[in-house]
């Protein structure tokens, strides 16, 4: 482990750029990752620590950083793991990190903080340092903007309660969907005790807070390094959406990091991550059930088609829905129709009969050709337009 003295807090921040690569935090997680030179061992740029995120408070330049990049744990995929000898480690005192954030915020470079950390002297001690940092930012610097705070594995109930008073969003990364998968990824983490139980506590605490002051709860999974399947990941996501009011599950396709035990494992295709997000939104926003989705024999979603279309190809192609009679829930099953499109159809139906694709386009269905295989208009299948080329 390399440790050296870097006097200026802003200089120190430049060593945290890898956080942006591994910690999705906004609404477009794939866009948060900087394009990296493949041979670079560690990112060293303040720019890479500042990510433009769509937060619950709008689009913001958010500083993503850590209290320390040293860690006593040895998660097999992580660039900050113990024993990754060439990694420069930097550690902030809460005062210094809060001050650096304040300087950046006053310069207009950032308006939001995502704070994570490696673990030194246990999750409780580390969580205290993170809480102290945010307390200083909130109290001494009177910053009332966006803060996303990570909860450390093993942190205490009262620490989570304090984090939820200070932050707009908290995340507790489960990393994998079962105890066995977590063991294979991160042998010093305890899935049930250190991680899952903390999400349940966070949900309990959240319900005691006044509406409007309830931070959202998110989690992250590392996808595909240890045989985890989409079925496992989505089943747990569904459980958390329903039982712990999880706001969002992030799925990070595994990418091998040099000088880690997983450096020779193949990278997971970004398309798998994309399909997981599509399926996850169906569970969260469209009230789908994971059992309705089609999985291949290996437990993964099809990559060649999105999960909604895969379902519609089986269930609607031979039983198309009559646009004038379908319920909102049924309309939402049609590929190309989302909540806004379904609402527009329901409104338009009150004005008269929808008989052709031009009417669908006029009310806001952006790709009417996409819906053609699955609907009836005026009791008939609409004509399929042949591609021009």
Positions 169 through 208 that interact with ligand SF4 (CB under 6 A): 186
Establish if 99 lies at the interface with ligand SF4 (CB under 6 A). Answer: no
CA pair distance 190, 293, nearest whole angstrom: 29
- Decide: 18 and 63 in contact? Cβ < 8 Å: no
DSSP designation for 301: B
Number of residues that bind ligand SF4 (CB under 6 A): 9
For 305, the 3-state DSSP assignment is coil
- Is residue 75 at the binding interface for ligand SF4, with CB under 6 A as the rule? yes
From 27-35, 40-48, 72-80, 102-110, give the range in contact with ligand SF4 by CB under 6 A: 72-80
CA 83 vs CA 6, 151, 252, 262, 368: distances in Å: 21, 23, 23, 14, 55
90 lies in the binding site for ligand SF4 (CB under 6 A): no
Which residue, 118 or 373, has its beta carbon nearer to ligand SF4? 118
Among positions 119, 233, 276, 321, the unique one binding ligand SF4 when judged by CB under 6 A? 119
| Contact between 78 and ligand SF4 per CB under 6 A | yes
Q: CB of 186: closest distance to ligand SF4 in angstroms?
A: 6
C-alpha to C-alpha distance for 114 and 302, rounded to whole angstroms: 33
Q: Which is nearer to ligand SF4, 71 or 290 (CB)?
A: 71
Name the minimum Å distance from CB 154 to ligand SF4. Answer: 10
Question: Is 256 in contact with 264 (CB distance < 8 Å)?
Answer: yes
Could you say whether residue 274 binds ligand SF4 (CB under 6 A)?
Answer: no
- What is the closest distance, in whole angstroms, from the C-beta atom of residue 184 to ligand SF4 in the complex? 13
Q: How far is the CB of 87 from ligand SF4 (least distance, A)?
A: 11
- Which pair of structure tokens corresponds to residue 109? 């470079």
Q: Does 151 bind ligand SF4 (CB under 6 A)?
A: no
Contacting residues for 61 by C-beta, under 8 A, at least 6 apart: 50, 51, 52, 109, 110, 111, 112
Q: Which of 34, 13, 14 is nearest to 23 (CA)?
A: 34
> Is residue 80 involved in binding ligand SF4 (CB under 6 A)?
yes
Task: Tell me the residue length of the chain.
Answer: 389
| Contact residues: ligand SF4, CB under 6 A | 71, 73, 75, 78, 80-81, 118-119, 186
């Amino acid at each position: 482990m390399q440790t050296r003295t870097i006097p200026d807090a802003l200089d120190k921040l430049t060593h945290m750029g890898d956080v942006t690569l591994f910690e999705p935090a906004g609404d477009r997680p794939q866009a948060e990752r900087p394009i990296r030179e493949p041979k670079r061992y560690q990112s060293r740029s303040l720019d890479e620590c500042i990510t433009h995120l769509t937060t619950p408070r709008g689009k913001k330049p958010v500083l993503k950083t850590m209290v320390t990049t040293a860690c006593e744990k040895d998660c097999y995929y992580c660039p900050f793991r113990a024993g990754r000898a060439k990694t420069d480690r930097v550690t902030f005192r809460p005062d210094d990190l809060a001050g650096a954030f304040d300087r950046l915020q006053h310069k207009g470079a950032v308006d939001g903080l995502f704070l994570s950390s490696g673990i030194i002297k246990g999750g409780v001690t580390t969580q205290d340092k993170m809480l102290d940092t945010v307390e200083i930012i909130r109290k001494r610097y009177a910053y009332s903007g966006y803060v996303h705070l990570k909860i450390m594995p093993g942190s205490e109930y009262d620490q989570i309660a304090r984090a939820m008073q200070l932050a707009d969003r908290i995340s507790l990364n489960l990393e994998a969907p079962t105890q066995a998968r977590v063991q294979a990824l991160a042998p010093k983490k305890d899935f049930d005790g250190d991680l899952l139980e903390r999400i349940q506590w966070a949900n309990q605490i959240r319900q005691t807070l006044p509406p409007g002051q309830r931070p959202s709860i998110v989690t992250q999974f590392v996808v595909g390094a240890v045989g985890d399947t989409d079925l496992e990941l989505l089943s747990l996501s569904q459980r958390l959406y329903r039982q712990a009011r999880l706001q969002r599950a992030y799925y990070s396709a595994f990418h091998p990091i040099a000088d880690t035990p997983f450096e020779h494992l193949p990278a997971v295709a970004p398309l798998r991550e994309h399909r997981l997000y599509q399926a996850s939104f169906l569970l969260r926003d469209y009230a789908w059930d994971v059992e309705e989705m089609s999985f291949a024999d290996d437990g993964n979603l099809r990559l060649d088609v999105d999960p909604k279309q895969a379902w519609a190809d089986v269930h609607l192609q031979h039983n198309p829905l009559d646009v004038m009679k379908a319920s909102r829930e049924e309309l939402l099953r049609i590929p190309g129709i989302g909540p806004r499109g379904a609402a527009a159809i329901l409104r338009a139906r009150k004005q008269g009969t929808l008989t052709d694709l031009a009417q669908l386009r006029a009310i806001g269905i952006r790709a009417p050709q996409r819906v053609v295989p699955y609907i009836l208009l005026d009791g008939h299948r609409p004509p399929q337009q042949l591609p021009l080329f």
